[in-house]
């Protein structure tokens, strides 16, 4: 069973401390669509920080 935790204080560094077994859902502020964040689509510089 999935459990969702709403992050009210979102900061850019959250990606660095969020475990990989946690799914991150993002919501488009323009159209309201919600979908799973795809870590593999991040640009290379951001991915380097995830490995630490």
Global confidence as pTM: 0.47
Count of domains observed in the chain: 1
Q: Does 3 reside within a domain?
A: no
Residue 34, domain member (yes or no): yes
At a CB cut-off of 8 Å and minimum separation 6, what does 25 contact? 4, 34, 35, 36, 37
Return the pLDDT at 51. 55
Distance of alpha carbon 32 from the chain centroid: 16
Domain that holds residue 24: 14-50
- Per the domain annotation, does 29 fall within a domain? yes
Note the pLDDT of residue 13. Answer: 66
Per-residue pLDDT of the chain (52 residues; tens, 9 = 90+): 566 677 776 666 666 677 778 788 888 889 989 998 877 776 665 656 555 5
In a domain? residue 1: no
| Structural domain includes residue 5 | no
Here the contacts of 39-44 (C-beta below 8 Å, separation 24 or greater) are 39/15, 42/15
30 part of a folded domain: yes
The verdict on residue 43 lying in a domain is yes
32 in a structural domain: yes
């Amino acid at each position: 069973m999935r459990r969702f935790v709403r992050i009210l204080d979102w900061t850019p560094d959250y990606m660095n401390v969020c475990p990989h077994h946690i799914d991150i859902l993002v919501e488009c502020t323009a159209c309201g669509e919600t979908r799973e964040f795809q870590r593999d689509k991040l640009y290379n510089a951001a991915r380097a920080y995830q490995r630490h």
